[in-house]
Homo-oligomer: A and B are copies of this chain.
């Protein structure tokens, strides 16, 4: 059975989406001339500011392009569905946002993205633009704690990009932006659960199979295998599994503040996210942790996958200030 999608053709889906995004948000975004996959903030980049370029595969909207705007990322390089962008749009993004203070690349830790962003950085060096990289590695399920550098980047991107984008907007030096971005990533933890697959516009076929009473804890946002496939449990039990992993790693002290994101992978409704949020709050209360800010909704999706993730960023004074910094993006305003 094919998945029903409101598209014209699988091959055109990403480019037509981008045309729709520019139609809807002309005050926020534009594309580099002759480079439609390089999406730039109208009011972000400026002289003397570190330029922040994010990016990755399509299908995770509003990640990545929804977080391009004043106070957050300056540009997003857009790939095909669940596939890295090639170097060209990355280079175009970097050149468009370069303010002479350096360009920071931030994206989830996936082999294809690393290869393409690294190639772009090498090419930019020839033009005397220095690009550095901070990978996001917030997905607790994807590698053990002593191999944090091997972990994937998932919904925690929202907070990590937000902190880095604020540091750029506050005119931190290149060294300081890089330090703050690594710090933000280091203190951000995400755990997800998948209930049903999505299908790519090109195939209209499910990207994995799962039993009708099953869930998979820790599945990646492209359907990468998780930690355990189990019978579906109650929202409280599922949230406890996610929070147990997060709290165990975070090693927070009573009184510490956190930022929380309860994120839909696509088709899980807000009703279910808020039922999970209720349990997240209760677990944080039990641990003596204070919610400083929270987001609930579709922030980092996998097309129409059903499931959810919980992200906790362990705040300190600097991260709290960066998370509170205002931003004005097409799909995210604070």
Contacts and interface: CB of A to CB of B under 8 A. Distances in A.
Interface of A: 1-2, 4-9, 13-14, 16-21, 23-25, 58-59, 61-62, 66, 81, 193, 195-196, 198, 201, 212-213, 215, 232, 234-236, 238, 260, 262, 266-278, 280-281, 291, 294-298, 301, 303-304, 306, 308, 331, 333-334
16 contacts: A2-B213, A4-B213, A6-B268, A6-B275, A6-B276, A7-B271, A7-B272, A13-B271, A16-B278, A18-B274, A20-B275, A21-B274, A23-B294, A24-B295, A81-B271, A269-B301
Contacts of A331: 297
Given A4-B196, A267-B304, A268-B6, A278 B235 contact: no
Contacts of A196: 4
Nearest to A61: B270
Contacts of A193: 6
Contact of A267 (B14, B58, B260, B266): B266
Nearest to A269: B303
B8 A275 contact: yes
Contacts of A201: 271
A7 B274 contact: no
A53 B276 CA distance: 27
- Chain B CB within 10 Å, residue with most, of A4, A232, A260: A4
B20 A296 contact: yes
A71 to B, nearest CB: 13
B212 A1 contact: yes
B304 A269 contact: yes
Given A7-B272, A18-B274, A21-B274, 5 more contacts: A4-B232, A20-B277, A24-B262, A24-B277, A271-B303
Contact of A7 (B1, B234, B301): B234
A271 B334 contact: no
